[in-house]
Amino acid sequence: MQFLKPLSLLLPAACLSAQLWAQAPVVDVGSARSDAQSNRGMEGEMYQQLQLLRQEVMALRGTVEEQGHQLRQLKQQSLDRYIDIDRRLTAGGSSSDAMTDSPDSLAVGSPSEASPAASAEGAVIAGSTSTPSATNETSPTSVVLDGDESSDYVKAYDLVKSASYDEAIIAFTSYVEKYPTGRYTPNAWYWLGELYVAIKPQNLSASTQAFQQLLTDYPDHGKVPAAMYKLGTVYFLNGDKQKSQEMLTHVIDRYGNTGNSAVNKSREFLRKNF
């Protein structure tokens, strides 16, 4: 809107000059000097044409700018696509896109976004409603881990995604045995912790153990705040309210300034249950 002001200020000026041109021939009507008249008429016409040309150039410039922008976007898109395909090809597997994406999202994303068991309460619900469907029929993958570190992890993670929690536990357990210091071992411990709560019946002590393993072996890993929060909720489910409160308070104290989503979840949990 502000933009209109200079426009409106400019307009009178433009109109004024246009008027001058338009008036000129009228003033000269009385005189017999028709050549001057036609001269001025010509100038007026030239002026009009100049205006039209300017408008035309501006419109064309706009189109060129926009097409240039679209070209840049297309270039970027095709580059992205190429990189993606290249990555899949070099990974050499059908499941490679999960491999490249999931460890990242697991490491940084909040547990609730990726996890089948969003929270301790969620876990109970998930356990009661979705485990019946968690049978083999959706998972063609065997639990045998025979690939390399990445593809084995992906295989196990695919089982989580297809809600085959029992098989996923077996897969992750063999993963941590096979790769005790693997790249995704902390994530595997985290998932084991989650999965033992998601299955029915829950195995709270196994879940506790898995989370504790992650906390002792990888105290600086990105999954630690989420694991601490989860462990706090598992203590609660186990009836150990004091330990639960201690753990959740610890999360808030230690990560309160980092904006980690586990902090708000801990707060929420403390508020609801204590």
Which chain residues interact with another protein by CB under 8 A? Answer: 1-3, 5-7, 9-10, 13, 54-55, 58-59, 61-62, 65-66, 69, 248-249, 252-253, 257, 259, 264, 266-267, 270-271, 274
Smallest gap, in angstroms, from Cβ of residue 211 to another protein?
21
Give the closest residue to 130 by CA, choosing from 141, 140, 119, 122. Answer: 122
- Which CB, 200 or 254, lies closer to another protein? 254
Distance of CA 217 to the CA centre of its chain: 29
- Which CB, 8 or 31, lies closer to another protein? 8
- Which CB, 23 or 258, lies closer to another protein? 258
3-class secondary structure, 147: coil
What's at 15, amino acid-wise? C
- Which CB, 155 or 230, lies closer to another protein? 230
Residue labelled with tokens 């899949």: 88
Give the closest residue to 250 by CA, choosing from 269, 99, 199, 38. Answer: 269
- Which CB, 27 or 60, lies closer to another protein? 60
Smallest gap, in angstroms, from Cβ of residue 214 to another protein?
24
DSSP tag of 216: H
Segment (H or E) for 238: none
Smallest gap, in angstroms, from Cβ of residue 10 to another protein?
7
Smallest gap, in angstroms, from Cβ of residue 9 to another protein?
6
Residue labelled with tokens 């007026």: 44
For residues 133 and 6, what is the distance between their CA atoms, to the nearest angstrom? 67
Smallest gap, in angstroms, from Cβ of residue 17 to another protein?
11
